Structure formats: C-alpha cells, structure tokens
Amino acid sequence: MHTKTLKALSNALAAGEVSSQELTRHFLDRIKQLDPGVNSFITVTEEQALAQAKAADEQRVAGNATALTGVPIAHKDIFCTRGVKTSCASKMLDNFIAPYNATVVEKMNDAGIVTLGKTNMDEFAMGSSNETSFYGPVKNPWNTDCVPGGSSGGSAAAVAARLAPAATGTDTGGSIRQPASLCGITGLKPTYGRVSRWGMIAFASSLDQAGPMTQTAEDAALLMNAMAGFDPKDSTSTDIEVPDYTADLNKPLDGLRIGLPKEFFEDGLDAGVGQVVQEAIALYEKLGATLVDIELPNTHLSIPAYYVVAPAEASSNLSRFDGVRFGYRCKDPLDLEDLYKRSRGEGFGEEVKRRIMIGTYALSAGYYDAYYLKAQKVRRLIKNDFDEAFKNVDVIMGPTSPNAGFKLGEKASDPVSMYLSDIYTISVNMAGLPGISIPAGLSNSLPVGLQIIGNYFDEARLLNVAHRYQQETDWHAQVPAAFV
C-alpha cells in the first residue's frame, strides 16, 4: 500500500479495496517502525488521524466522498493545526499548541484528508539541510549520512521513505523544491498568492508560499485542487479562479518552447547533476519540445539580494516572539528587558539569530537605502529577466540545486556555501513565479531533480509538463532500498 501514489490510493478507497482506517493504521505503523532512523516527524497525531479516518470512511458510506477523502498526508510543522503542537522546529514554540487551523489545513480537512502528523524542518524554515531543527536533523532516506535538503526536509524524507503518501511544504527560497530534489520526490512551489499563507508561521512574507510534496505531478495536481484559492484572511492571496489542475495533465508537448538559461549551467553545477538534467531535457526534445537558449543575467544577484530581503522580513515577523505572548519564556526574569532578551536569546537557534541580526541591521536608519532598498531594486531586475524570457518560451528548465544530498555537517559551519544550495530556486521566489522539481535520475546513488519554472499562475502547465515526463520515466517511483 505504501508505495502507491495518492491517485492510486484514492482509487483503492473508491473501489472499497481498503478503508481509510486500514490505510491510516498502515502508515502510522510504518512511521513507528521506520521514522526513528529518519527523524522526519516532530509530532505524530495518531488518535486524531484514526478519528479523521473513521469519519472519512463514514463520509464515503454516506456517498459524500471527494477524490481525496480518507487519504492520509503529513503537514510541515509550520502550519498551525488546532489543538496540536505547532513548533516551526524551534525551542521558541516547543510548547505552542495552535488555537486554530491554517487555511491550507482547514481546506484539506474539508476535503476529507487525514493528517498523520507534523513534519520536521529547519527552524523557522531557515536552512537548506534540515540541520537547524531544535528536534535534530532529518536524514536522507537514500543515504542516512546525507541531508534531505531543507527547509521542508521532514516532508520530503517522509514522502521519499513512503511514511506518508504526500505532505505539505513551504518555499521561501527553495524549501519545497530543493528537498524534493535531494529526496527524489515531486515538489511544487505555486505562484505567490495562489495558496493562502494564513496560519502558516511567517518567515519572509513577500516570498513564502505553500505547496504540495508528492510522488508524482498527478498527485500534486490533486492536492493543488484542495489547497489553492483566494482567502479573505490573506490579503496577498489572489482572487483568480482555481482551475482543475488534473484536467490538462495529458496534453501533448508538441511545440512546447523550453528556455534553458545559460546561467543555470555554469560553474558551480556538479557534473553528475548537470548530466542528469541534460538527459531529462533531451527526453523533452523527443517528446516534441523545442529548446531555446535564454539568459537570466541577474541570477548571480539573487542570493545576495535574498539575504537582505528575507532576513529583513524575518526580523520583523519574528519580533512577535517576545516571551510574553507566544511560546518560550526564560526562567525568573529580573525585569521586562531581561525577559525579552533572555527569552529570545535562549529560545532562538543560531541561524535564526543570525538572520534577525542581519535583517535588523539592513532595515536600520542609515543602512535602509544601501541594503534593503537596493535589494528591492535588484529584485525587480530579476523579475524583469523572467518577464523578458517568458515572451519567447513557455517554461524554463534547469537543475533544482547545484548538488545532490551532501553529508550531514558538511556545510553546517559555512553559511555561504549552504546558501548557494538555492542558487537556482531563489530567483523564482524573488519574482513570485511557480516552479516544480521532479526526480530525473541519480548521481552517486542520490536523487537529482529537474526544475521547471513557469509563468505566473501557469501551474497547470508545469504539472502537465512534469506529468508527461513521469509517464516516460520511473524515477518518481523509485524507493530507497531500506524503505521498500
């Protein structure tokens, strides 16, 4: 059962081959047995999951089932879940029980989806390796000496190890796509504004976006049907109709114009990763696509600009964690200032503190124009590059990340090399565009992702392009040996 896609599980439920309670129990058992070696879950919500599964089975008997009623998934621990610990993998929120559901969670509950638990992540979604979690690092199921990527590393590892058929993730600079790439699964970062951010603990509000992490593009389409849409509670969500994302999955790719940015294939790209990506692109040519050389000349500025904008927004967003209203409070504060200082000093980890300091500095009077304003201007140039490219191509392709899974600890003490993991993904967030990573092969026995970037609100096309590839290949169906 656990190797089946969401789509196959949905069919099995509809055909009465299995009940949601049996399915949920099966995945809960797998988590119990196998997750200690992976550490992909922070919280397993066994009791609630079984209650939801029972309700889903009853809904089916009553004839009210949707395509997703009764399928179990996991949520990244950045989404508020009513009555359940929502920690963002921080000591700061280790004692925080969310009083409400994030819109994404609410919508999935409405669709009858069962929640298995909350997945591990980098603290406050800051990281590319899942090593900054208060709950310890997540291991890559393909090689447990390696990182799964981050920040949605728990979600990626859980799906790769088939501990959950699918999971939610969030992507501020690459956090859905990069771990999807490193764990050999499919991860879609929708257009900014396509999915509600309400109830998703904020990191960098102008960049954060939630999306599905699945085995296949078809499964991502199913989940997008449940997740996407306008939310009056999120003032940046967009009021555009949600298409049926499964409708165009099979459209032929004849005449598809694929842009290949030269900047995505230069120095810094691992040779093995580059080869896998080239082979994937060659397959698209066979499927009828035309390759077009393009340029995204400001790509090299995306990381420096992001590391001003994202920390600036983070420093503001994280000011709410003051030891008074949420989460951790230091012991025996002497006075109010001591309470603030020690609660934040003791509650946040090193990377989070680094970002708060950078962001506060960049926003301070005297430096605002030189850093923050400048970074915003660069951001516009990055967006302009994409606008120019999309005049001539339908999608853009390249690697998701410059490397496959690296060793735990390898980059932990070198933030700049860690930050480079997102060199091909960050510009997509800076522009607000959608992007997907799909498994395209192995390099040194570790998965490699192909990234496909689309124009605004063109998720259906990305899913179509990804799905056609997955019909010709079986990389998405490969399971790491220890988890078959």
Active-site residue set: 76, 151, 175
In whole angstroms, what is the distance from residue 318 CA to residue 15 CA? Answer: 47
Binding letters toward ligand GLN, positions 265-304, x by CB under 6 A:
----------------------------------------
Token readout for 85 is: 């610990």
One of 70, 153, 165, 173 touching ligand GLN (CB under 6 A): 173
- At closest approach, how far in Å is the CB of 434 from ligand GLN? 14
Q: Which is closer to ligand GLN, CB of 161 or CB of 358? A: 358
One of 28, 113, 125, 453 touching ligand GLN (CB under 6 A): 125
Q: Which is closer to ligand GLN, CB of 260 or CB of 312? A: 312
Q: Which is closer to ligand GLN, CB of 173 or CB of 327? A: 173
Q: Is 172 in the site for ligand GLN (CB under 6 A)?
A: yes
- Output the CA torsion 470→150→443→250 (10° steps): 10
Stretch that binds ligand GLN, among 165-173, 319-327, 360-368, 461-469 (CB under 6 A): 165-173
Q: Which is closer to ligand GLN, CB of 127 or CB of 402? A: 127
ω into residue 151 within 30 of 0, thus cis?
yes
Q: Which residues contact 408 (CB under 8 A, 6 or more apart)?
A: 129, 131, 137, 139, 145, 146, 147
- At closest approach, how far in Å is the CB of 405 from ligand GLN? 15
Question: How far apart, in Å, are the Cα atoms of 41 and each of 87, 111, 171, 303, 438?
Answer: 12, 23, 18, 29, 23
Q: Is 129 in the site for ligand GLN (CB under 6 A)?
A: no
Binding letters toward ligand GLN, positions 406-445, x by CB under 6 A:
----------------x-----------------------
Q: Is 126 in the site for ligand GLN (CB under 6 A)?
A: yes
- At closest approach, how far in Å is the CB of 172 from ligand GLN? 3
Q: Is 175 in the site for ligand GLN (CB under 6 A)?
A: yes
Question: How far apart, in Å, are the Cα atoms of 86 and each of 75, 79, 309, 338, 365?
Answer: 10, 7, 25, 26, 35
Stretch that binds ligand GLN, among 63-71, 170-178, 218-226, 276-284 (CB under 6 A): 170-178
Binding letters toward ligand GLN, positions 201-240, x by CB under 6 A:
--x-------------------------------------
Q: Phi and psi of 228, rounded to 5°? A: -75, 160
Stretch that binds ligand GLN, among 167-175, 216-224, 339-347, 444-452 (CB under 6 A): 167-175
Stretch that binds ligand GLN, among 11-19, 172-180, 220-228, 317-325 (CB under 6 A): 172-180
- Give how many residues touch ligand GLN by CB under 6 A: 13
Using CB under 6 A, list all residues that contact ligand GLN.
125-128, 151, 171-175, 203, 310, 422
